[in-house]
């Protein structure tokens, strides 16, 4: 069982490596063909994950696995996901499982047991993450099993608040009473996080807010002063440094920025693996510069 609480992992790894999160969304047409050509083609996913982790462990503090991509490859995908999550956690990376789970009580409890409960506390241990993305749209009661894991096992949550997809505003920017739906979600995140503090300045119950909406991001950050924000959308979705600055708070580690396709996708599948390694390195440095935390921030805020 990993001893550190999520808030402590974030603060330590952000201090050492910054707020960049390697997003792993494995899709064969976006991956160099060389991974298929070595050994059995059925094992390309494991080889690909090992390749990416070999080049990011010790250089990046966080990794986000998008569950759907692994589920799409059936049992082989789930086995590869389990092995990669265990390896990344053992190496000290903060592991986020992007599954966006959310359901009524008993089903939400099963999800919490699957992804946030250590093996010695009743979980399987196969897919244990440090942090999970969750969907609050069915109401606060559906978050409770996940919050229980935050309190009991030191886990973290990223609750959907104002997402980066083009259609997000259809619901999240609507007014209910005199408030935006996203504002109400931010209030909910603050409220449920009050009894989940893990001894650091950062609240382990954080929010997903896209790096594509700087105006909304600035407003929502003001409602979430101590929350860790996961800010997808940098790169292909149009997010930029201006939007990131709007989301940045006053505590080291309070903004984590995942990069996936912009970091790992290739246009030419015939690229040699040594060239692919160089490409990842160049892109990683570019994103690291874009995401860099201002020197004025510190672990004490």
Residues annotated as catalytic are 100
Strands (E), 137-197: 156-162, 175-176, 179-180
Question: What residues are paired with 298 via a beta bridge?
Answer: 251
Q: How far apart are CA 155 and CA 131, in angstroms?
A: 6
Q: How far apart are CA 103 and CA 192, in angstroms?
A: 17
CA distances from 22 to 6, 153, 177, 255, 287 (A): 17, 24, 39, 14, 10
Q: How far apart are CA 154 and CA 168, in angstroms?
A: 30
Output the six-digit token pair for 20.
């960049």
**Are the CB atoms for 15 and 49 separated by under 8 Å?**
no
Cβ density class 281-290: b for 16+ within 10 Å, e for less: eebbeebbeb
Q: How far apart are CA 158 and CA 146, in angstroms?
A: 10
How many other C-beta atoms lie within 10 A of the C-beta of residue 171?
A: 12
Rg for the chain, CA atoms, rounded: 18
């Amino acid at each position: 069982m990993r001893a550190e609480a999520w808030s402590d992992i974030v603060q330590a790894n952000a201090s050492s490596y910054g707020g960049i999160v390697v997003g792993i969304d494995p899709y064969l047409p976006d991956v160099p063909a060389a991974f298929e050509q070595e050994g059995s083609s059925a094992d390309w996913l494991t080889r690909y994950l090992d390749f990416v982790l070999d080049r990011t462990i010790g250089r990046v503090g966080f990794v986000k696995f998008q569950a759907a991509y692994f589920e799409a490859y059936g049992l082989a995908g789930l086995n590869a996901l389990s092995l990669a999550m265990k390896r990344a956690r053992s190496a000290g990376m903060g592991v986020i499982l992007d599954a966006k789970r959310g359901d009524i009580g008993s089903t939400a409890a099963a999800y919490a047991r699957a992804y946030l409960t250590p093996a010695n506390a009743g979980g399987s241990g196969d897919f244990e993450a440090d942090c999970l993305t969750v969907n609050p749209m069915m109401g606060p009661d559906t978050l409770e099993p996940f919050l229980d894991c935050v309190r009991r096992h030191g886990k973290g949550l990223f609750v959907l608040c104002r997402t980066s997809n083009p259609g997000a505003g259809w619901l999240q920017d609507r007014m209910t009473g005199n408030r935006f739906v996203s504002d109400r979600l931010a209030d909910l995140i603050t409220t449920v996080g009050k009894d989940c503090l893990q001894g650091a300045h950062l609240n382990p119950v954080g929010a997903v807010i896209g790096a594509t909406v700087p105006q909304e991001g600035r407003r929502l950050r003001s409602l979430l002063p101590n929350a860790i924000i996961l800010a997808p959308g940098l790169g292909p979705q149009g997010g930029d440094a201006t939007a990131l600055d709007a989301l940045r708070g006053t505590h080291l580690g309070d903004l984590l920025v995942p990069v996936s396709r912009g970091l790992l996708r290739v246009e030419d599948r015939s690229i040699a693996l040594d060239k692919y390694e160089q490409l990842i390195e160049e892109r990683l440095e570019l994103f690291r510069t874009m995401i860099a935390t201002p020197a004025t921030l510190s672990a004490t805020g």
